[in-house]
Amino acid sequence: MIARHPDRFSVAALCAGRKAEPLFEQARRFKPELCGLLEEPERIPDDLRRLNWVFGKDAASVCAAEPTATHVVHAVVGIAGLPATISALNNGKRLLLANKESLVAGGELVSRLARSAPRIIPIDSEHSAIFQCLEDARLKSIKPVKLILTASGGPFRTWDAKRIANASPADALDHPTWRMGGKITIDSATMMNKALEVIEARWLFDMPGDRIEVVIHPQSIIHSMAAFEDGAVLVQMGLPDMRVPIAYAMAYPERLGTGVGLPSFGAIGTLTFEEPDESRFPALRLGREALRAGGASPVTLNASNEEAVAAFLQGRIRLGRIAQAVESALSAATRGSARSLDDIMEADRAAREFTRRALLG
């Protein structure tokens, strides 16, 4: 989007995890003042040494606080992204958020910080869709009565429970619609991503969890919906392409060209919807239970899932063991508090430790 609209945007800082070479290429192209990496590379290319560099676990937080930046696009995966979320908000940035775990684990804390900072604009396609559906209603102080998150159903939409439980990493990574990183793709296969998105929506839109629904929509044309008291349901539709929600967040409240075409509804033919089956996808139930329990329970849900997904991708457990491990962690954890970063990180540590022990057993 920045390359497409160079008259509108420039890059103040770039940060990545361990992929140094792509970051070097982007730094040459977009010429930021600051670059960060989670791991320091063996060497910085001669032509990039003039830049300011930061390395280590605080790199994303430092980049998010870059004084010349007004907007922060935040797509770190997992609870590791929470400090950068806090840094962006504490430094008065508009936060364009694709790190759902910041709100899953730190919803109360992040919401409190966002009250005195520029608004958070979601980049996840589902939450961007709801944000767009609510824009006119928000200006008129009209609240929806229900939010409806759509889900593709992932690669196991038609599989039975036994087959899902024994699926391989290759099976789970074969998503029918979206191309994403390993962890997010596995979450989509188990539908844990929808459990996390329900919790995220609760904080983004100040909506009770029992008024947030999930519906399977295999075509991924309707990205989510908002229902109102008069019976109207607003939907946001479009081809499944992340350039659309990213551009909307970057240019808000305007719209910019993205290079994404319009759907051909005649060619699509039929849009279908199904109720999710929580007996085959227990992560949905676990997410709602964690949200109802409150406190640090969503932290436990997220941390245990991150550990279990990592073990699955390493071939150490079967897919069905992920939900079992998360349920055990939720049952064993004390409710605790999640009002401060220290509270959140302690609950995260305890859940990870419990899950590692449970998976080794």
Domain range annotation of the chain: 125-153+191-276
Interior angle at CA 289, CA 287 and CA 293, nearest 5? 120
Per the prediction, the chain carries an average pLDDT of 95
Residue 14 sits at φ, ψ, to 5 deg, of: -130, 140
Q: Provide DSSP, 187-232.
A: HHHHTHHHHHHHHHHHHHTT--GGGEEEEE-TT--EEEEEE-TTS-
Cα–Cα distance, 106 to 298 (Å, whole number): 9
Q: In this predicted structure, which of 11-25, 128-142, 224-238 has the lowest mean pLDDT?
A: 128-142
**pLDDT tier for residue 334 given thresholds of 50, 70 and 90:** confident
**pLDDT tier for residue 182 given thresholds of 50, 70 and 90:** confident
pLDDT at residue number 181: 79
pLDDT at residue number 361: 63
Cα–Cα distance, 133 to 126 (Å, whole number): 11
pLDDT at residue 233 tops 90: yes
Q: What is the dihedral of CA 58, 60, 65, 69, to 10 degrees?
A: 160
pLDDT at residue number 135: 87
Cα–Cα distance, 90 to 187 (Å, whole number): 30
**pLDDT tier for residue 178 given thresholds of 50, 70 and 90:** low
Nearest to residue 187, comparing CAs of 312, 297, 93?
Answer: 312
Give the residue ranges of DSSP H helices in the chain: 20-30, 59-64, 82-90, 101-114, 125-139, 161-165, 169-172, 182-190, 192-204, 243-251, 265-268, 283-293, 297-313, 320-332, 341-360
Percent of the chain residues topping a pLDDT of 90: 91
17-64 pLDDT, tens digit each: 999 999 999 999 999 999 999 999 999 999 999 999 999 999 999 999
* Secondary structure letter of residue 81 according to DSSP: G
Residue 235 sits at φ, ψ, to 5 deg, of: -125, 150
**Contact yes or no for 333/350 (Cβ under 8 A):** yes
SS3 category, 234:
strand
Percent of the chain residues topping a pLDDT of 70: 99
Helix or strand holding residue 104 (H, E) = helix 101-114
134-176 pLDDT, tens digit each: 987 776 788 999 999 999 999 999 999 999 999 999 999 987 7
pLDDT at residue number 335: 78
Return all residues near 119 (Cβ < 8 A) that are at least 6 apart.
Answer: 94
Tell me how far apart the terminal alpha carbons of the chain are, to the nearest angstrom.
47
Interval 300-319 mean pLDDT = 96
pLDDT at residue 177 tops 80: no
182-190 and 297-313 are packed helices; what angle lies between their axes, rounded to 10 degrees?
A: 110
Cα–Cα distance, 161 to 147 (Å, whole number): 28
**Contact yes or no for 132/236 (Cβ under 8 A):** yes
Cα–Cα distance, 113 to 204 (Å, whole number): 13
